[in-house]
Amino acid sequence: QIYQAFASDSEATALRKAYADGIAWGDAKQILFERIDREIAPMRAMYEALMADPAKVEAILLAGAVKARKLSQPFMARLRNAVGLRALASANTAAVKSKKTDKATLPSFKQYREADGRFYVKFVDAAGKLLLQSAGFDSPKDAGQLVRSLHIDDASIASLTLGEGASAETVKTALQQLRDAA
């Protein structure tokens, strides 16, 4: 079976015939050794040549490293940037900071659950001043649907309570700021 792994079909047939004719085990082992040696000899010669010339091995490894870096560095740079591993002085941090600042200057919706178990929505301006307050909802889904409807149009404003000092006009203006920012 070992011989068949290395030999051609005709060589395997010849060895099988030799077994049938009564070849000795020692002779069969010698034939197996010679066949494996013929197969492995070129690989052994290459190994010995490389081991005799460590500088050549080093050059091959360095060339591979250059090729790998050429492929991997752009990807790794994008990956590091995506997960936030970048230089503090990079322009991307300024862009992220300005996005956060822009979000902070927009009005926003707050959804929360009170001790009574009901879900509420309030709409506040950029400074945190209350513009609208909802009545309680039995499910968070209903509260979320109110928020969604307010993102689309102003029709639901009439069913909500205006915050102290807020007018329907200031609420409409704040809602339009959100729509424009989206």
Q: Sheet of 130-133: strands edge to edge?
A: 108-113, 119-124, 130-133, 161-162
Please give the model's pTM, rounded to 2 decimal places: 0.44
Q: Provide the pLDDT for residue 104.
A: 56
pLDDT mean values, one per 10 residues, the chain (182 residues): 90 92 92 93 94 95 95 91 78 53 74 91 89 90 88 81 87 86 76
Q: Provide the pLDDT for residue 58.
A: 96
**Contact between 12 and 4 (Cβ < 8 Å):** yes
Q: Provide the pLDDT for residue 128.
A: 87
Identify the CA nearest to 161 among candidates 182, 142, 135: 135
**Contact between 111 and 147 (Cβ < 8 Å):** yes
Specify the residue for token string 């029709």: 155
